[in-house]
Amino acid sequence: MIPSRLLIIFASADRYQALQKVINAIARHLKKERELKVIEMSGERLNLLLENKNSTISYFDHSQIVDDIWMMLNPHALEWWKLLGLEDKDSLELPCLPGIEDLTRLIRLAQVIDEHKDFNLLIVILPHPLHAIKLLQMAQKGPDLVEQLVDPLLNWWDKTRKSLSTVEKMFRLNLPSSKKLRLEDVWKKKLETLQRITSERNQHNFICFIDQESRNLDHLQHRFSNFALHGVFPTHLVIQDAEKLIVEQIRSDCSDIPFTLIKWPEEKQQNIAKMLLEAPSNRRTKFTNEENMSIHIFMPGVQKKSLRIKQTVDNIYLIYQGNHRAIEIPEAWKKMRCGRAQIKLSWLKLSFLDDIEDGLHPNHHATRKKGVPGRIGKIQPNTAKTSDT
């Protein structure tokens, strides 16, 4: 459990100059006795000149983290390394697989949060916005991926190893146990803490600086839809060099927006610093209304004519311009169907109906008429085979 005294601010920007000014303003605004830790994970190695004497900065070092992990696993998983021919390898000789650097970023972030429980303020500088929201989305799903992907794979290996015990003895093989590769409880707790902090908007502030110079409203709406489809929306959004009409249009399109909209450079840096130093009380971008049996999701920038919605047994999938987002269906509603979807002032409302009421058994999705009409296109039913329970 992360102590309430630690305030975590995630930050990302198209142009880092403005972000640097705000971070310096935060350092100046902090009281002398308060401690500030900045972890620079953008890869840009920003030169932050913090005036607060209690401020410290550390930079993300992918190679060092890989080496630390490798040393931690040796000789713990030596049997596996022998099987794979890696027992004599240095960490620098390991293959550079796609996505590994993002994984080490999250490992480092989980470590930093755990190590700085007694600090007052932690600022995490992330890469550019699109990369940043993908990282935060990954952080939200980390423990679930271990549970749904890694654990079943290791369980399968244990069963396979057991069935091969005769062959193992015959050929004098030494097939290693999966126990050496399972995530330790201490690491599970670190990743679960990171998941909670990044998922719950009242556990952090996330400021994002978007460059709108020489760009139109359509491009800004596309960026908004990227936030929505990744399930990560800034708590504080700074739009740099945007035309006045564009900002007014955003306010008009979004009803009761669950974020603070800031226009740069009109808003003073010191005022932004004060906003970010307040304890997070950010509104949710997704909530469930049990009385009306509906799910409400903030989806700015999404055009209803291009949005497709598909329901499976456990999830509703929102598909838009090459991205998709899974919305988990509450357990009590899994025998119902999403009968209507409506977008109004940037909020998507998914309404659920009980199939039994219209004479259709809840599990017979495959025989249902293809496509349930709604305000936005069609909600495609699940076509997977299901069995009655």
CATH 2.60.40.790 fits 286-380, yes or no: yes
Residue 130 has pLDDT above 50, yes or no: yes
339 or 377, higher pLDDT: 339
* Model confidence band, residue 358 (pLDDT cutoffs 50, 70, 90): very low
Q: Outline where DSSP puts E strands in the chain.
A: 7-13, 36-40, 55-59, 121-125, 205-211, 236-240, 260-264, 286-289, 294-298, 308-311, 315-320, 323-328, 336-344, 347-354, 372-373, 378-380
- Predicted local distance difference test score (pLDDT) of residue 354: 76
In this prediction, residue 372 carries a pLDDT of 42
82-127 residue pLDDT tens: 666 666 666 566 667 778 889 889 989 999 999 887 778 999 999 9
Residue 379 pLDDT > 70: no
Sign of CA pseudo-dihedral 163, 165, 170, 171: positive
The dihedral of CA 188, 328, 356, 388: what is its sign? negative
pLDDT > 70? residue 36 = yes
Q: What pLDDT was estimated at residue 73?
A: 66
Tell me, what's the pLDDT at 124?
Answer: 96
Mean pLDDT of 276-304: 93
Q: Given pLDDT bands bounded at 50, 70 and 90, which one contains residue 133?
A: very high
Q: With the C-alpha atoms ordered 294, 196, 231, 11, is the resulting torsion angle positive or negative?
A: positive
Round the average pLDDT of the chain to a whole number and report it. 80
Confirm if 26 and 142 have CB atoms less than 8 A apart: no
Cβ atoms of residues 120 and 7 within 8 Å? yes
CB 388 within 8 A of CB 317: no
Average pLDDT over residues 140-145: 77
Residue at token pair 């939200």: 140
pLDDT in tens, 169-213: 565 556 666 666 666 778 788 889 999 999 999 999 999 999 988
Task: Say whether pLDDT at 252 is over 60.
Answer: yes
Q: How confident is the model at residue 389 (pLDDT cuts 50, 70, 90)?
A: very low
Domain boundary assignment for the chain? 7-147+175-277, 286-380
pLDDT at 171: 56
154-158, 292-296, 357-361: least confidently modelled range:
357-361
**Average of per-residue pLDDT across 44-66:** 81
Burial class (CB in 10 A: 0-12, 13-18, 19+), 252: exposed
Residue type, 57: I
Please give the single-letter amino acid code of residue 246: I
Contact by Cβ (8 Å): 300, 228: yes
Of the chain, the percentage scoring pLDDT greater than 90 comes to 38
Higher pLDDT: 379 or 281? It is: 281
The separation between the first and the last C-alpha atoms of the chain, rounded to the nearest angstrom, is 39
Q: Does position 296 have pLDDT exceeding 90, yes or no?
A: yes
Name residue, tokens 């349930």: 372
**141-155, 244-258, 261-275, 372-386: lowest mean pLDDT where?**
372-386
Q: Hey, what CATH class is 7-147+175-277 in? A: alpha beta
Query: What one-character DSSP code corresponds to residue 340?
Result: E
Quick check: 52 pLDDT over 90?
no
The reply to whether 286-380 shares the fold of 7-147+175-277 is no
- Residue from 127, 109, 106 nearest 37 by CA: 109
What span, in angstroms and rounded, lies between the C-alpha atoms of 57 and 49?
A: 10
Closest CA relative to residue 255, chosen from 342, 343, 344, 345: 345
Distance between CA 70 and CA 92 in Å, rounded?
A: 10
What pLDDT is recorded for position 366? 37
- Looking at residue 117, its pLDDT comes to 79
